[in-house]
Amino acid sequence: MPKVKVDGVEIDVPAGATVLQAAELAGKEIPRFCYHERLSIAGNCRMCLVEVKPGPPKPQASCALPATEGQEIRTDSEMVKKAREGVMEFLLINHPLDCPICDQGGECDLQDQSVAYGRGGSRYHEHKRAVTEKYMGPLIKTTMTRCIHCTRCVRFSEEIAGVDEIGALYRGETMQITTYLEKAAHHEMSANVIDLCPVGALTSRPYAFEARPWELKKTLSIDVSDATGANIRIDARGREVLRALPRNNDDVNEEWLSDKARFQVDGLTRRRLDKPFLRRDGKLVQATWNEAFAALSTLNPGASIAAVAGDMVDCETMFAAKALVGALGSNLLEGRQTGMDYDTSSLAAVNFNTTFNDIETADAILIVGAHVRWEAPTVNVRLRKAVKRGAKVFLIGPEWETTFGGEFLGEDLSLIGNLPGHVADALSGAKRPAVILGGAALGRGGLEAGLALAGQFNLVRTLEDGTAWNGFNVLHMAASRMGGLMLGYAQKGGIADLVAAKPKVLISLGADEVDYTKFADSMIVYIGHHGDKAAHAADVILPASAYTEKAGTYVNTEGRVQFADKAVFAPGDAREDWTILRALADAFGVSVGFDSFDQLRAAMVSAVPALGVEGLADYGAALPAGGGSASGAIAYPIKDFYMTNPIARASATMQRCSAELLHGEEFAEAAE
Amino acid sequence: MADRYIEPDTPELRARWGNFAWTEANAAKAKEIVARYPEGRQRSAVMPLLDLAQRQVGAELNTQGWLPIPVMEYIAAYLDMPIIRVVEVASFYTMYNIAPIGRFHVQVCGTTPCMLRGSDDLLATCKSRGMKKGHISEDGLWSFTEVECMGNCASAPMVQINDDNYEDLTSDRLNAVLDALARGETPKAGTQDPARHTVEPVGEPTNLVAMMSENHDYRSEW
């Protein structure tokens, strides 16, 4: 622990820290552009210059200088002030003065730092350089004249995303950042370069010229496009959500966000259900809420009622539906829409036990039936980190382009029980072995066979340093999955049990992936927000709220309980889901025991206490023994990364991504 | 230099260079080059391999050679590295031509020592022979670039043509060199001053004279 003096105050800094980090620890702000905590150190913007003794009598780039014992660091001297002013002046020489028409305006590092550390005016009267636009795909808008060559985007795509496609061509004054042959950036984390860019060179294309940051109402929320529960911030103006940005959470998404989570929000204003509908003579016709409930109150389902939860609903909605169905005397609840029927008696057996944070430290990982890049892009980033630390990765399932290497063993589930020798050796020799089962591996005995591996390789163990290690993981794809399982949304036989029970009324909570032809005799009441697949099959449509329009509790695939706030109001006559279920209880003539959201949440927490505490729910470390054998070819459920949920399917941005990036269509750029 | 650009990737370019592969001799050379680097650092061979590829293209076209996009892709695949990293290197160093080039690439140094010794005349000579920046002469013989210091200041002004330097030039001497090249001859590289072998003083030395015969300490005289 070297001791250094920052502006006369002596502090201890961790070994290996840089001077910049030491100054940060001392509470001194160091301006920077190229330095980023999660990327390698480049040291090329020179904005972080400080005075360091002992050393040469000139300012030093603090981001690339190790802090050593006895250093005296000054961040407030005249030399430092002049150095910052000089660097800023140089950076601004070739930076256009187009802040009024730049989308970064108001949240621009260059703008902020030039106000804080720059000179009052310019002494430069020559021509500025100009750089042609570079096409980087449908998500990233470029204005490369604004680029200050910090190379954060280059380092991100190389180090974090693992898809080397952005580079710096030419040199000196003519240096240009571009993708290879100006092809679209081709991975599911590409838009994070927009956040990384400290200036307005890379901005969001769908959000271009939409709003200024100070006009937006910012609401903390949780992403529902996959089961990782990425922490997001919803930026809304009036009733419209304009963008979703990642929030820092080192345990979940670090500070990244998948392109789908970021850009599906424009789907929130399209294809929305904003009026109740009733099916009359085979056609859906608009109705009022009163007409809808009047029709529903004549149903008298009794105990012949079932509820199926969609992939994006919050725990409160599921609990309210459970209360309603329970009050009528039924317990037919299911959330696994596509017919999965794996055993859920132990939640630890269907949970990502290692946690995202610790999977980085695993040294041997077996992935079965998970297309991690598409099913959980932020987890893929962690796997890449693990491999960089030396982890060996083996995969069972059809080949996909990993960003971390890894060895594909084959496509059949039977491989779980019949691992090649070197794989078994790697797992048994590992200190921190991990197995990840994806959605495609859970059925057909896969979960049990996976659990048998947990026993065979002793995945649950105490590490040398005394901490507990649980290397058994299930990677879900639905944001509602773990919450649903905690609330009992699982039947022994899966959704087939619901079909077999032939319920008179089937409540569908935004469940768009269910095969409703099997429920031909049931009255399907769809409580959801988009006119997607399920709405076509529904007999009654009750318009509800999307994830941005209601407060809710979500449990991610690690069993991490997280709370989201309401950002905007639902459009038209749509209401929050729980109010609809509460009114439905009146229509059916039963009592569900809550009249407000707070009462609902209190009832839910008293039923499942873990849902009231933010953080990892404790499912215990004990895993069922498993056993048996699995067989059958693995097929990943996600065929199109950009089209996995009703919001994304309604989003013009996601449709274009799907067409252009996955199906190779070419789009002419609009003439500007 | 500011006018360097990568030859656009067109179907014609792909058709012409898409099946680029090492000749037998170059394949052996490439293997030998890659073997110079330690295991796991094979990507370091990208610079010599790009040069080799450029020379192979040159031999095929009877020019100095250049690097079409498909050739860079071939190198990237050969070294198992991302193509953008190869393009970065090729576009950074001016010794790699990233657009078609003539038989002789005339690079005239225009930096101060050469300029003081008359490089302006050389530029004028080149211009009068129809050479201009970023342009191949009609007969396909000449490409022209004005460059910065090539490190031959003791025999300024100088011109680099493909792999050889021609020094101590005047307009006439440059014309002689260019004419010889055009005739297919190989003029003597290095100084063109008949009175000089390399960069030794012309005539009697004019400074550090006392050092001629024995070691002399000048310090007391400064």
**pLDDT at position B201 over 90:** no
User: What pLDDT is attached to residue A245?
Assistant: 96
Is residue B34 domain-shared with residue B71, that is, in the same domain? yes
Per-residue pLDDT band at B2 (split at 50, 70, 90): low
- Interchain CB distance below 8 Å, B2 and A173: yes
Residues in chain A closer than 8 A to B83 (CB atoms): 180
Residue B125 lies in a domain: yes
Residues in chain A closer than 8 A to B82 (CB atoms): 158, 164-165, 180
**pLDDT at position B118 over 80:** yes
- Interchain CB distance below 8 Å, B92 and A171: yes
Q: Which long-range contacts (CB under 8 A, 24 or more apart) does B165-169 make?
A: B165/B189, B165/B190, B166/B190, B166/B192, B167/B191, B167/B192, B167/B193, B167/B199, B168/B192, B168/B193, B168/B196, B169/B118, B169/B122
Interface of B with A in 71-110 (CB under 8 A): 82-85, 87-88, 91-92
For residue B115, give every residue at least 6 positions away whose Cβ sits within 8 Å of its Cβ, in sequence order, or none: B157
Cα A589 to Cα A296: distance, rounded to the nearest angstrom: 11
Helix A577-588 and helix A289-297, axial crossing angle in degrees, nearest 10: 40
Percent of chain A with pLDDT over 70: 99
For residue A399, give every residue at least 6 positions away whose Cβ sits within 8 Å of its Cβ, in sequence order, or none: A408
Q: Which of B84, B85, B98 to mutate to test the interface with A (most CBs of A within 10 A)?
A: B84
The 10s digit of each residue's pLDDT in A23-44 is 999 999 999 999 999 999 999 9
- Which of B52, B70, B92 is the endpoint of a domain? B92
CATH number of A96-215: 3.30.70.20
**pLDDT at position B1 over 50:** no
Quote the DSSP letter at residue A661: I
What's the number of CA atoms in the CB half-sphere (13 Å) around residue A538?
A: 31
User: What pLDDT is attached to residue A622?
Assistant: 87
Annotated binding site of B for [2Fe-2S] cluster: 109, 114, 149, 153
Which tokens is B185 given? 């001859």
| B1 and A CB contact within 8 Å | yes
Per-residue pLDDT band at A649 (split at 50, 70, 90): very high
The 10s digit of each residue's pLDDT in B149-184 is 999 999 989 999 999 999 999 999 999 999 999 999
User: What pLDDT is attached to residue A186?
Assistant: 84
Residues in chain A closer than 8 A to B91 (CB atoms): 169-171
Cα A596 to Cα A232: distance, rounded to the nearest angstrom: 26
The 10s digit of each residue's pLDDT in A146-158 is 999 999 999 999 9
Judging by beta carbons within 10 Å of its beta carbon (0-12, 13-18, 19+), is residue A68 exposed, middle or buried? middle
Determine the number of helices (DSSP H) and then strands (DSSP E) in chain A. Answer: 20, 29
One DSSP character per residue, A214-259 reads GG-EEEEEE--SSTT--EEEEEEETTEEEEEEE--BTTTTBT---H
Q: Which of A131, A151, A169 to mutate to test the interface with B (most CBs of B within 10 A)?
A: A169
Residues in chain B closer than 8 A to A170 (CB atoms): 4, 91-92
Q: Which of B1, B4, B83 sits opposite A180 (nearest CB)?
A: B83
**pLDDT at position A671 over 80:** no
Cα A609 to Cα A602: distance, rounded to the nearest angstrom: 9
- Interchain CB distance below 8 Å, B1 and A164: no
| Average of per-residue pLDDT across A144-171 | 93
Cα A594 to Cα A579: distance, rounded to the nearest angstrom: 10
Lowest mean pLDDT among A170-184, A302-316, A539-553, A562-576: A170-184
Residues in chain A closer than 8 A to B92 (CB atoms): 169-171
Rg of chain A taking only CA atoms, in angstroms: 27
| Average of per-residue pLDDT across B105-132 | 93
**Mean of per-residue pLDDT scores for chain A:** 93
The domain of B87 spans 11-92
CATH number of A3-93: 3.10.20.740
| B129 and A CB contact within 8 Å | no
Domain ranges of chain A: 3-93, 96-215, 353-474
Cis peptide before B157 (omega within 30 of 0): yes
CA dihedral over A426, A428, A434, A438, signed as positive or negative = positive
CA dihedral over A80, A85, A86, A87, signed as positive or negative = positive
Cα A559 to Cα A361: distance, rounded to the nearest angstrom: 19
Partner residues linked to A621 by β-bridges: none
Is residue A446 within 8 A of residue A460, CB to CB? The reply is no
Torsion of CA A308, A310, A315, A317, to 10 degrees: -70
Quote the DSSP letter at residue A66: B
| Average of per-residue pLDDT across A345-368 | 94
Percent of chain A with pLDDT over 90: 87
Interface of A with B in 171-230 (CB under 8 A): 171-174, 179-181
Per the structure, the count of domains in chain B is 2
User: What pLDDT is attached to residue A572?
Assistant: 93
**pLDDT at position A289 over 60:** yes
Judging by beta carbons within 10 Å of its beta carbon (0-12, 13-18, 19+), is residue B187 exposed, middle or buried? middle
Is residue B79 domain-shared with residue B56, that is, in the same domain? yes
**Pairing between β-strand B142-147 and β-strand B159-161 as defined by DSSP bridges:** unpaired
Q: Which residues of A361-399 are buried (b: 16+ CB within 10 A; e: fewer)?
A: bbbbbbbbbbbbbbbbbbbbbbbbbbbeeebbbbbbbee
- Interchain CB distance below 8 Å, B82 and A172: no
Q: How far is A157 from chain B (nearest CA, A)?
A: 12
Per-residue pLDDT band at B4 (split at 50, 70, 90): confident
CATH class of A353-474: alpha beta
- Could you tell me the CA-to-CA distances from B91 to A171, A172, A187, A279, B69 in Å, in that order? 8, 11, 25, 65, 11
One DSSP character per residue, B140-155 reads S-EEEEEES--S-GGG
Q: Which residue has the tokens 């089961």?
A: A227
Nearest to A365 by CA among A386, A380, A350, A389: A386
User: What pLDDT is attached to residue B15?
Assistant: 94
Residues in chain B closer than 8 A to A180 (CB atoms): 82-84, 87
Residues in chain A closer than 8 A to B85 (CB atoms): 164, 167
Per-residue pLDDT band at A602 (split at 50, 70, 90): very high
Q: Which of A167, A171, A172 sits opposite B84 (nearest CB)?
A: A167
| A166 and B CB contact within 8 Å | yes
Of all residues in chain A, the one with the smallest CA distance to B4 is A170
Residues in chain B closer than 8 A to A165 (CB atoms): 82, 84
Alpha helices in A439-559 (DSSP H): 446-456, 481-486, 495-501, 533-537
Per-residue pLDDT band at A207 (split at 50, 70, 90): very high
Residue B167 lies in a domain: yes
For A129, phi and psi rounded to 5 degrees?
-80, 155
Residue B167 maps to which CATH number? 3.40.30.10
Residues in chain A closer than 8 A to B2 (CB atoms): 173-174
| Average of per-residue pLDDT across B122-149 | 90
Partner residues linked to A412 by β-bridges: A633
**pLDDT at position A235 over 60:** yes
Quote the DSSP letter at residue B139: T
- Interchain CB distance below 8 Å, B4 and A164: no
Q: Which residue has the tokens 């005047």?
A: B170
User: What pLDDT is attached to residue A638?
Assistant: 92
- Which of B61, B92, B123 is the endpoint of a domain? B92
Is residue B82 domain-shared with residue B132, that is, in the same domain? no
Residues in chain A closer than 8 A to B87 (CB atoms): 167, 169, 180
Annotated binding site of B: 109, 114, 149, 153
User: What pLDDT is attached to residue A668?
Assistant: 57
| B69 and A CB contact within 8 Å | yes
Cα A171 to Cα A531: distance, rounded to the nearest angstrom: 52
The 10s digit of each residue's pLDDT in A552-570 is 999 999 999 999 999 999 9
Cα A476 to Cα A375: distance, rounded to the nearest angstrom: 8
| A517 and B CB contact within 8 Å | no
Q: How far is A136 from chain B (nearest CA, A)?
A: 14
Is residue B147 domain-shared with residue B175, that is, in the same domain? yes
| B9 and A CB contact within 8 Å | yes
Nearest to A43 by CA among A107, A86, A87, A108: A87
**pLDDT at position A160 over 80:** yes
| A167 and B CB contact within 8 Å | yes
| Average of per-residue pLDDT across B75-82 | 94
Q: How far is A342 from chain B (nearest CA, A)?
A: 42
The SS3 of residue A126 is coil
For residue A175, give every residue at least 6 positions away whose Cβ sits within 8 Å of its Cβ, in sequence order, or none: A149, A168, A169
Can you state the percent helix, strand and coil of chain A, rounding each to 5? Answer: 35, 20, 45
Alpha helices in A457-520 (DSSP H): 481-486, 495-501
Torsion of CA A180, A183, A188, A190, to 10 degrees: 60
Q: Which of A169, A172, A173 sits opposite B87 (nearest CB)?
A: A169
Residues in chain B: 222
- Interchain CB distance below 8 Å, B92 and A174: no
The 10s digit of each residue's pLDDT in A498-528 is 999 999 999 999 999 999 999 999 999 999 9
User: What pLDDT is attached to residue A669?
Assistant: 54
Q: Which of A170, A176, A187 to mutate to test the interface with B (most CBs of B within 10 A)?
A: A170
Q: How far is B43 from chain A (nearest CA, A)?
A: 14
* Number of other residues whose CB lies within 10 A of the CB of residue A594: 21
User: What pLDDT is attached to residue B210?
Assistant: 86
Cα A306 to Cα A505: distance, rounded to the nearest angstrom: 6
- Interchain CB distance below 8 Å, A164 and B2: no
* Number of other residues whose CB lies within 10 A of the CB of residue A627: 12
| Average of per-residue pLDDT across B84-96 | 94
Cα A656 to Cα A267: distance, rounded to the nearest angstrom: 12
Q: Which of B69, B84, B92 sits opposite A170 (nearest CB)?
A: B92
Can you state the percent helix, strand and coil of chain B, rounding each to 5? Answer: 45, 10, 45
User: What pLDDT is attached to residue A258?
Assistant: 95
Residues in chain B closer than 8 A to A172 (CB atoms): 1
